[in-house]
Amino acid sequence: MTTSSSNSWHGLAELLLAGPQYRRSGTIRLRVTPAGFATVAAPEVQAEADALVVDGRRIPYAGQTFAELAAAAGLDAGAPEGLYKDGSGAAAGDPVVTTDAGTVLGALAVGDAALRRFAPDQTPVLWPEHFDVGISLGEVNYGVSTGDSAVPEPYAYVGPWTPRSGDFWNVSFGAARPLRELGDAAAVAAFFAEGRATAG
């Protein structure tokens, strides 16, 4: 399998952070950090732009497969089992390719900041299944995805649990806007606020 860079970031989140964390601590929730993203429970693992950080040790991605990184970090590589069907599609033997670190990690940082601005009392969660950072309020999901089959670039979304109709709602799951059109965290937060008002 040829692994794209965006797929590698998703794979890191799923195979080396969420999977080991789920097997040890029973949760797949991850969090965005100033340098990348990390687990919320044991084992303590952080994915940064160029390296995996475990117990204070930096393990560079360059030239490594997911399995090799896991072995160097003392982790059991693999996605959380039995929780969801979709995922990154990355396999342990795939090479880790992280050439678009700025785009992917930048999108997550903007999303996390926008969500905290929009709903200060909520804690954003980076979900490994779809590799998006989000929250749920009043049966509506708000968040930022790094890109997927629906929108192949980083985008902000508003996803009501019950479908809505109208001009604002432009995708099957609700509303989506590319980050390149919205801009900074304040603009993304404004999009979320518009979504909340439009959802009613």
Give the model confidence (pLDDT) of 25-36 as tens digits. 999 999 999 999
Per-residue pLDDT, averaged over 55-73, amounts to: 96
Read off the pLDDT band of 4 (50, 70, 90).
Answer: low
Could you give the CA distance from residue 164 to residue 160 in angstroms, rounded to a whole number?
A: 7
pLDDT at position 149 over 50: yes
pLDDT at position 113 over 70: yes
Per-residue pLDDT, averaged over 158-187, amounts to: 97
Confidence (pLDDT) at 167: 96
Could you give the CA distance from residue 146 to residue 155 in angstroms, rounded to a whole number?
A: 7
Read off the pLDDT band of 5 (50, 70, 90).
Answer: low
Rg of the chain in Å (alpha carbons): 17
Q: pTM, whole model, 2 decimals?
A: 0.94
Task: Please give the biggest Cα pair distance in the chain.
Answer: 51
Q: Do the beta carbons of residue 98 and residue 90 sit within 8 Å?
A: no
pLDDT at position 182 over 60: yes
Per-residue pLDDT, averaged over 44-49, amounts to: 97
Read off the pLDDT band of 3 (50, 70, 90).
Answer: very low
Q: Which amino acid is at 18?
A: A
